Amino acid sequence: MRALCLVLILLVSSIGAAQADCLQELGKFREHVDSLNQAKPTPQTQAALQELRALELNEMADEIDCYNTLARARAMLTAPYPPLADDRYAKDRPHP
């Protein structure tokens, strides 16, 4: 019985520690995205900030939501830039 109680206590404390770790990672990542956005705003940094703000507004967010949001925001931040429009040939034609 004591062993079962000990296992339950360790399990509950590890869950709380994992959520605290995610919140610390989220805080560091938010600072990083904020600094990138202040230096040079891009669509990627804007999308990542929007994703992080959505988590802050979610009152029912749990540890899984925290890690999922962190993964989505990181993916948004590392997404390639959209290709620039190639309008070399559009300039040759007269506009109606």
pLDDT tens, N- to C-terminus, the chain (96 residues): 766 555 555 445 555 555 568 888 988 999 999 999 999 998 899 999 999 999 888 888 888 888 999 999 999 988 887 766 666 666 666 655
Helical H runs in the chain? 2-39, 43-57, 63-77
Domain ranges for the chain = 19-77
Closest C-alpha among 70, 63, 69 to residue 20: 63
pLDDT for 4 equals 54
Which tokens belong to 42? 């891009």
pLDDT for 15 equals 52
